Amino acid sequence: MIDAALSRTLRVRSYREGIRDAAQTFRLSADSDVRAALKRAALAAIPKLEGWTMRVFTIERTLEGERVAMLLDSLARREMGGPDYAAALAVTLDGGCAVLAVTAKDATRVERVRSGLSGGAR
């Protein structure tokens, strides 16, 4: 059973040279689109710089107990560091859906996140 309050409450974490959690959680109304809200939250937490490559990854839990946010968190942490990389993870508090937005000056850093995700899905 899914707790409606937790599945409609978001938290955001950003990754640059360090990790920063948003100071608050965000509660969505019953008629809002959760996936769209997660994408907007993740995109709002990263810089939009001309010439940088950006990708957005969305994954949803298919089985109870899957830890989708942990997977995206580890991918973001693996690539973080330096001024030429930024990422943001937005996740529902029940862990049912998570969105990772990644941007980097060097496109290979973004590609490594994508390949890590495809390798982790196997």
Domain locations in the chain? 4-120
Q: How many Cβ atoms sit within 10 Å of the Cβ of residue 106?
A: 13
Could you tell me the pTM of the whole model? 0.87
* pLDDT tens sequence for the chain (122 residues): 455 688 889 999 999 888 998 888 888 988 889 999 999 999 999 999 999 999 999 999 988 888 889 989 999 999 888 889 999 999 999 888 999 999 999 999 999 999 988 874 44
